[in-house]
Amino acid sequence: MTMTATAPVTDERVGKKSTLSKILGRPEIGALVGAVALFIFFAAVAPVFLQPASIATVLYGASTIGIMAVGVSLLMIGGEFDLSTGVAVISSALMASLFSWYFSMNVWVGVALALVMSLGVGFINGWILIKTQLPSFIVTLATFLMLTGLNLGLTRAIGGSVSTPSISNMDGFDSAKAIFASSVNIAGVEVKITVFIWIAMVAVASWILLRTRVGNWIFASGGDSNAARAVGVPVVKTKIGLFMAVGFCAWVLGMHNLFAFATVQSGEGIGNEFLYIIAAVIGGCLLTGGYGSAIGGAIGAFIFGMANKGIVYAEWNPDWFKFFLGLMLLLATIVNLVVKRRAEQK
């Protein structure tokens, strides 16, 4: 046989897929449309919203949700979700704070221990899930309750109060604060460091998801874990790893909370887990797994940040915030659904 250079054969059934419909097929497109619409809306009703300082504030608000949403998005794509994230953030901060304070150690020791504990909580969540085959709703609900109790009980037992003693004058506090809770001056605007941490984490997560074997395994574990297992994907390791990634995110945010305020309220964090899940869902992650993106979760968090601060800038009563959040969740998911169906038909 001789090889002749022939023009690539194109299938007549491949209708030209327009660039537009390709873009519309992306998981995060619904959220992006929503984010732009919301931005224009608040820019119109509250001119102060457009000032650089306001945008920095919005980004900060978004980053505190977004850092967790990175892990939660990946986990959701992997087919599971985690209700313990909100309190896990506080647990991590409490661990670092109380340990350093009680043993009068350099705070970095506490920070390292908190990381170990956060990864451990993630591991236990994943391990119980795999061993018992229970839905992640039940397993992480149990973890949520247990952590809530531990946060309150241990804080009172060790520190004698509902909040931890301040660690602001302990060794290593300043260097830790510089890493987790400082601000960067960009053209005269103070931008919180969490914004950069957030962006970096989204970039790394996107890279992992789309360009590594592990990313492939995450999609497969969430999309169809039986099929994935049958072709040799280590589904168990992937899922446990995802829960540990969520634990890592909780640690990052927990450290920010601790070093931003030097003290931690032990009863905080309850309810935040839904914000992270909402951000991921608004961002186009499928609740049933197998579909979504890290960027989507980031856009979801940005929408949250805009709505949260925008209401303040528009001088409305913040009581309305939750209503808007619910409405946005509904709209965004409907838009996602419609866009996805339309893109698939083309």
* Interface residue list for another protein (CB under 8 A): 11, 13-14, 17, 207, 211-213, 215-217, 219-220, 223-224, 226-228, 230-233, 286, 290-291, 344
CB of 234 to another protein, least distance (A): 9
CB of 208 to another protein, least distance (A): 10
Work out the number of other CB atoms within 10 angstroms of the CB of residue 22: 11
CB of 219 to another protein, least distance (A): 5
Helix (H) or strand (E) holding 82, with range, is none
The radius of gyration of the chain from alpha carbons, rounded to an integer in Å, stands at: 22
Nearer to another protein, 114 or 209 (CB): 209
Q: How far apart are CA 266 and CA 279, in angstroms?
A: 24
Nearer to another protein, 36 or 287 (CB): 287
Q: Which of 198, 197, 215 is nearest to 206 (CA)?
A: 215
CB of 227 to another protein, least distance (A): 5
Nearer to another protein, 27 or 61 (CB): 27
Q: What is the dihedral of CA 71, 275, 79, 59, to 10 degrees?
A: -40
Q: Which of 304, 295, 309 is nearest to 332 (CA)?
A: 304
Nearer to another protein, 230 or 337 (CB): 230
CB of 1 to another protein, least distance (A): 9
Nearer to another protein, 14 or 157 (CB): 14
Nearer to another protein, 187 or 231 (CB): 231
Nearer to another protein, 194 or 238 (CB): 238
- Terminal C-alpha separation, the chain: 38
Could you tell me if 72 and 246 are in contact, meaning their C-beta atoms sit under 8 angstroms apart? yes
CB of 214 to another protein, least distance (A): 10
| 59: alpha, beta or left? (left if phi > 0; alpha if psi -120 to 50) | alpha
Work out the number of other CB atoms within 10 angstroms of the CB of residue 20: 10
CB of 22 to another protein, least distance (A): 9
CB of 65 to another protein, least distance (A): 26
Nearer to another protein, 37 or 204 (CB): 204
Nearer to another protein, 219 or 304 (CB): 219
Q: What is the dihedral of CA 77, 83, 89, 91, to 10 degrees?
A: -140
CB of 342 to another protein, least distance (A): 14
Q: Which two structure tokens, joined as six digits, stand for 275?
A: 């914000």
| DSSP percent split of the chain into helix, strand, coil, nearest 5 | 75, 5, 25
DSSP 146-169: HHHHHHHHHHHHHHSSSBPPP-TT
DSSP 264-281: -BTTTTTTHHHHHHHHHH
